[in-house]
Structure 1
Amino acid sequence: MAERAVEQCTGRTGVEKVPCYEQLLLPLVKERGVETVMATLGRVASLDSDVARDGHVLAHGIGIAAYSSQEDVARTFARCSPAFQSGCYHGIIQAYFEHAPASSAEAVNELCAPYRGAAGNRWLLFQCVHGMGHGLTMVHGHVLPEALRGCDLLSDGWDREACYGGAFMENIVNATAPHHAGAGLMARQGSTGSSHAAHAHGVKQADSAVVAAAAPQALRFKALDPADPHYPCSILEERYQLACYGMQTSAMLHLNGGDIAAAAGACDGAPPPMRAPCYQSLGRDISSYTLQDPDQSIRLCSLGSERYRPWCFVGLVKNFVDLTATTESAFAFCAKVPSGPSRMKCHEALGEQIGILKSDLSERSILCDRSERGYVEACRFGARLIQERPAGLPLPANGAGR
């Protein structure tokens, strides 16, 4: 099946290729099951580098196609895999909100409750609340401030940040790949965007002109602004800035034709507290651009300013873990990062991901012990195994962090 799909879709342009694969793969979800179709997508990615790069969007589509009912979310969720940055998980939550668009505080807090607490799975909790951000953005007709207000209903700050991140990702993906599976779901079922979008609390009053009328019962929000590489961060309230800049280089690179150095320069022009998060976003995008090639990734990160370069490596190594929910390639990558502050940040970031992957402290410790001599403590600090910050581990310029 994978070989036939590649044969049919090879030669299509970027805009046409994703719908081509969707038409071939998504109908198979109900017939052959999520596991089989995700495995097929993995095989397709090994044959088509575009899919290796953009498979997250296709995995979203598989999750959307797998959804059957509100009562069946947990069982369907369990059939997904972490492949392609856990896009399948995100798609299921997207579909949930399309079928049950009411976003009360009770509803949004209960949806991901099975993954909370000491006995929960923090990795799956992240996928659930991140997917919630995607779903809320869709259900509000891609009026981003309305979706962010939905995320605000979550009672836990960590959950809210993950939800914001999903909303910002959906905003950019829908703007840059409007034919992705989520957009198709919206088209089939009809937009339920709120007519109160212009009054969304997240938008500064002086900038309400960026919201333009579109659908009969909804106001459309301008997703990107070619004249402002920092938009929509530049018009949103402070509580959304960290998550916004955590995705913003995807917008910058879309607007500048993939110029990594120019995106780094734009990050240098972000508000000082947001420059490190912007560089972290750049690292994630570089991982995608290079298909996780360590040497190419390090070279591209080095195009940025020395002051914020360590956070580019943070974004890279976190993406290495996010892609597969494993740490082998991440440890190998950190070993290649230039020694000193950049490598320290790499191991700290790897520890942070280990802390999400593993709830058991002894398992975290075993994994961090794989760090190189001199960097074990940075990993342990990131994994919340120790409280004292290791010497030589840099802080963001604004002093944020532990």
Structure 2
Amino acid sequence: MSFSADKIKADFMILNQLVNEEPLVYLDNAATSQKPTTVLATVEQYYRRNNANVHRGVHTLAERATAQYEAARQKVQHFIHAKESAEVLFTRGTTTSLNWVAKSYGEASVHQGDEILISVMEHHSNIVPWQQLAKRQQAVLKYIDITPEGLLDMNSLRSQLTSKTKIVSLAHVSNVLGVVNPIQEIAHLVHEAGAVLVVDGAQAVPHQKVDVQELDVDFYAFSGHKMLGPTGIGVLYGKRHLLEQMEPVEFGGEMIDIVTEQESTWKELPWKFEAGTPNIAGAIGLGAAIDYMEAIGVDNIQQHEQELMQYLWPKLTAIPGLTIYGPAKLEQRTGIITFNLEDIHPHDVATAMDMEGVAIRAGNHCTQPLMTRLGCGSSARASFYVYNTTADADKFVEALIATKEFFSYGTI
């Protein structure tokens, strides 16, 4: 597929509509992406033709459904370059994936006095599970700071890694700062300290190539709905030897091998973690999303976002009173622009932008410790993706300027 953002946009029917009598410009992609017609058609086709439970039946529909479901797992394996499909677990999303690691691996590996290390830029989904684990195990939760530019402070990381550190859990890409963390370098430091590295890849996998073997991460979590796939489906990658040590978090049908009145044994990887009827349609839809992304080329997606940022950045920095959070060097960030506009509340900014047809996010973005660190209670966020165009960028700037003028002079 030759790259054209305008042609790609035509694959997303939802974008062809008016919002408040204005053409929709969707810039809330860090929260969730839209879905191309191929993904919608694939999910519909599963329900229309192949709807059956997986792994359990020998009839034709069950075999078709199982084949599609496991093919999706193999697509994920190849997409993130896992060594084998058994290292790919289907979950409900990034949050569930991180909770599984904290609950299963964490409780078996972290004991009283041990240390868990995360950063101040983390999403709540990568904070709260570790808080709870630390409380249960009487462990110590420590935070890596950020630099004034909004980068992960590597000196802070090095100084806090000790022989007591058991788990380090970090975002690959910050959902607020847009900064890309040096995961491969971090993995080397973490492993030298004898700890394991857990990575929240929710904001990375949709936007750049991820090779879990090259990065040498121990666990990697991401969500389908942020990468053109359905909601309710996610992935937890784990190195085989670690997954084999772990106990399942949920129990019931599908994940068992033998059940007697008093004892049970589990299936082999990956099925020992997938209790009950899985999100079959979601997994199949995620497989279709991966097909779509690979047809475009993930490198092309990343390059397109970089070009959009290079186009947009000088226009934004020319707006008086606009504060943008995160690094100013565009090669250090993705297509996430988190900002505040003078003394206008972010919710008011987002509401005014919506009246112009521009959909952005406002609030604390599930990063309250980071908001505190940045000295603001909340902020607005525009996040760009593969179907956004320079015309979308222009409309975003125009709407920002119109919002500023409205709250300054009462006209828009």
Give the TM-score band, short-chain normalised: under 0.3
Using CA pairs below 8 Å that are at least 6 residues apart, which structure has the higher relative contact order?
2
TM-score calculated relative to the size of structure 2: 0.27
TM-score calculated relative to the size of structure 1: 0.28
Larger strand proportion of the pair: 2
Q: Report which of the two structures shows the higher radius of gyration computed on alpha carbons.
A: 2
